[in-house]
Amino acid sequence: MNVATTKKVHNYSAGPCILPQEVFQQAAQAILDFEGSGLSILEMSHRSKPFEAVMAKAQGLVKELLGAPEHYQVVFLGGGASLGFHMVPLNYMKVGGKSAYVNTGEWATRAIKESKLVGDTQVLASSEDKNFSYIPKGFQVPADVDYFHFTSNNTIFGTQYKQFPKSAAPLICDMSSDIFSRPVNVSDFALIYGGAQKNMGPAGATVYLFDPERLGHTGRKLSPMLDLKNHGSKESMYNTPPVYAVYVSMLTLEWIKKMGGVQAMERRNAEKAALLYNAIDRLPLFNGTAAVEDRSVMNATFVLNDAALEPAFDALWKEAGISGIRGHRSVGGYRASMYNALPIESVQVLVDVMEHFAQKNA
């Protein structure tokens, strides 16, 4: 194996993460001159006709790619999904009401903490007992809660819901790290939200896709800045939106559509995940950290069985041009984030490195 001549960077960063090269090229040009206007997208008014068209297209593509019902609304806000953790109970938990959550990792834990600041919050199940290495199953969602919230993919711990929970209560999901990676029946959800910086765009924008008919029933008076119904009625323009992040998200959504939509992304991602997990399972030096049935297609987490070999393995993958695969401190080892834009050729490079290392250290 000759890795010394490899110059391409194979980006496995968990977020901000890899985006399509053609998106970078278009986005870079727009910084210099947006569509021949003589203005940079960075200095263009969010109230200008050209940017209003960008916003409308981005909103339309979110609904089109996910097959959302016509009456659903899309808004792009700042603050990350972390702000969304607090906005969810404010907008969906009735005064004196209660919410329900499942805890599957760091971000679910934070969402639960924010909900508890607002009102009665029930944790129906948790995988904390095994360091969040599996998805809890067999729990029932009470019919009397105002909403049920879960996190579809757990970036740090490498687990993912393969089947979404059923709930008679309004269903709300943080899909930050796997949105647009597979088809979703949007009509099952009162709200889907997520940060852009995984499969959709750069950090700085958060997308909210929601049924407006489910809002405005809490009996709570909200700040307009925290009111999803207000942002929906103002078409994401109540205050200045994250202009550039929305624009790059629009370009990425156009790329997903051109590539065949979320159905094509699902096939593409399944192929990449199968290639890497096969290597993890057949090479005795490596061991996956997540329960096999709950393994994330987006974030594969694994360790070396002998931690003393890590420096040598690190040197090899760095030499091959691989970036961003060190695991989160909560898990250790390695995490290969394989978002939509990561080509399978990059996964093959990592697998080649793993095989070479395993042979050398057999």
Question: Which member of 98, 146, 174, 227 is catalytic?
Answer: 174
Instruction: Give the tokens for residue 292.
Output: 């096999």
- The one catalytic residue in 98, 146, 178, 198 is 198
Pairing of strands 159-160, 206-210: unpaired
**107, 146, 272, 317: which one is catalytic?**
107
Q: Bin 15: left if φ > 0, else alpha if -120 < ψ < 50, else beta.
A: left
End-to-end CA distance of the chain: 16
- Can 188 be counted among the known catalytic residues? no
**Distant-in-sequence, close-in-space partners of 68: CB < 8 Å, separation ≥ 6:** 62, 74, 186, 187, 209
Other Cβ atoms less than 10 A from the Cβ of 167: the count is 21
DSSP notation for 102-161? EE-SHHHHHHHHHHHHHSEEEEEEE-GGGTT-S---S----TTSSEEEEESEETTTTEE-
Residue 107 designated active-site: yes
Nearest to 21 by CA among 345, 342, 346: 342
281 among known catalytic residues: no
Amino acid at 92: Y
Catalytic residues: 107, 174, 198
